[in-house]
Amino acid sequence: MARPRPRDLGIIFGAFEPGKHNAITDVPGVGVGHFTLVEGEGPLKVGKGPVRTGITVILPHGGNIFRKKVQAGCFVLNGFGKSAGLHQIRELGTIETPIALTNTLSVHRIADAMVGYACSASPEIGITTGTVNPVVGDINDGFLNDIQGRHLREEHLLAAIRDARENLAANSRAGKAPAAGLPPAEGNVGGGTGCSCLGFKGGIGTSSRKLPAGQGGWTIGVLAQTNFGGDLIIKGVPVGALLKRQSPGEPETAFPLPDPPGSCMVVIATDAPLDARLLTRMARRGGLGMARTGFYSASGSGDFFIAFTTANPVPHDPECQDLRFPGATEGGPRSIPTSDAGESSSAQVSAESKAPLLLRREVLPDEAMSPLFAAQAEAIEEAIINSLFAAETMTGRDGNTRRALPIEKTLEILKRHAVL
């Protein structure tokens, strides 16, 4: 039986309303899928287990992401991690593959599998067009998992991608376009399977916010892979420290345990019309939402934030690179509107023109960003707490155990502090 989410128990984070499912998939077109691998028990035997790991995939949209890229930004708060693809996001401001979240020592294997997936969908990659930039984030799940065994394979990534596509297809069949994905599973699933967070069992958590119409009506969704240290804080109450003081001799209440080295991956999605610079501004502020939960960015924690928008997609279209405008001069390039696919009408273009094509897109001004920043902080905070409420106690290699957050005792503490 699934554990309740905090909001279902009356724990409300911030002032903005969540989306329909309070999940990253409330952003239209975004899908999430998981592959979870749990095998074996007992002492660690490298290459054999026990295995407590997985892959979580975020689809920015349901089409060919290499051919129709999304604008993106990223930020590294503490760089103790092995994530792949962030350099090109910073340089070009786009994402061109699904985003995969897994464990640290499986990053390169999953990145290789992502290249294979992209080349299968776009056989021209590296032959008649440029290469592809796989985006893979990581956390260290070695406390519970046989991380050296690198048990994840290409077929596991493909299974997670299929699950994400099914997540989108479920609502597409209901006639919604663009599709809004169903709420993804949280807790001990996918890339969150072996996570430890704030001394408890961590995992995958998600949340969303919907801005009022007067502030644009945009949706901001967050998915977090929580595997970091600190003392748990919920709505300003030091829950972790208070749980330590309650019956410290009882195993089920001796929380939290010391934290192993870990990391946190936070993926932020929105349908607001932003460019790479504004998305980088959002990513740079991701740690503010995390800090509300007791996070402090330990030396051995890799803390990474990726933000993208489903608005203003960027076409990968080599033919467009040589298009010119009618009447353009050598020193004066002109812009023309683009279709949803980012393609211009051939009737508007003259082969004799020498000015390069400029794509014109609507982008929010900086002055409109503050509500997005505030909503994002709320969603990140709630996504992290959602991961803790969803995660269940797990025993992994060598009997190492991460206990679930004790919900009833947590509620008692929050009631004593007038939070509930």
Structure tokens at 294: 């007791």
Marked catalytic residue, from 106, 196, 207, 263: 263
The residue assigned the tokens 């039986």 is: 1
Residue type, 239: V
Q: Which of 122, 207, 301, 353 is catalytic?
A: 301
The DSSP code for 52 is: E
Q: Which two tokens stand for residue 83?
A: 């994530």
φ/ψ bin of 307: left (φ > 0), alpha (ψ from -120 to 50), beta (otherwise): beta
Upstream peptide bond of 248 is cis (omega within 30 degrees of 0): no
Enumerate the β-bridge partners of residue 75: 305
Say how far residue 269 (Cα) sits from the centre of its chain: 8
Given the residues 146, 163, 271, 303, the one annotated as active site: 303
Per the annotation, the verdict on 353 as an active-site residue is no
CA 219 to CA 238: how far, in whole Å? 30
Question: 226 has which bridge partners?
Answer: 264
| CA atoms lying within 13 Å on the CB side of residue 99 | 31
Task: Quote the distance between the C-alpha of residue 227 and its chain's center.
Answer: 14
Residue 207 annotated to the active site:
no
Has 303 been annotated as catalytic? yes
Distance CA 359, CA 356 (A): 10
- Give CA–CA dist 359/336, Å, rounded: 6
R_g of the chain computed on alpha carbons? 22
140 DSSP 8-state letter: -
Show which residues are catalytic: 263, 301, 303
